[in-house]
Structure 1
Amino acid sequence: MVLVAQAGEDFTNPPGRDLLASSEHTFADLARAIDRAFARWDISHLHEFQLADGTRIASADEDETD
């Protein structure tokens, strides 16, 4: 996982984290793990994931949990 931008600002040297997930985890679980890994628990924002095949998965609502 690489955090490439925050608050509209791109990072020159983006921080990264290694996370483990199983097929039993939801994308909401992954989003929460990412927020914790980057100490981003105090903000509410939308999440978008891009898979290796180019498929994009995004949260429909910032209050949505799954």
Structure 2
Amino acid sequence: MTIVSISPKYQIVIPKSIREALKLQPGQKVQVIQYEGRIELIPVLPIQSMRGFLKGIDTTIEREADRV
């Protein structure tokens, strides 16, 4: 576990090991969420990186006879 400090301007530095593991880049956006007493930072990925992430998913569903 790594501990960081909050600056007087309420800024933090993401440790290098975490930046490298998540492949974060300068200027990249992150979503900030408050959840059950903690702060979560979620990298916002470019839409191009989402292409094909559902490949292989089963999209067949049962439909009612009158909903063909």
Normalising by structure 1, report the TM-score.
0.27
Q: Which has the larger radius of gyration?
A: 2
Comparing both chains, which one has the higher relative contact order based on Cα–Cα distances under 8 Å and sequence gaps of 6 or more?
1
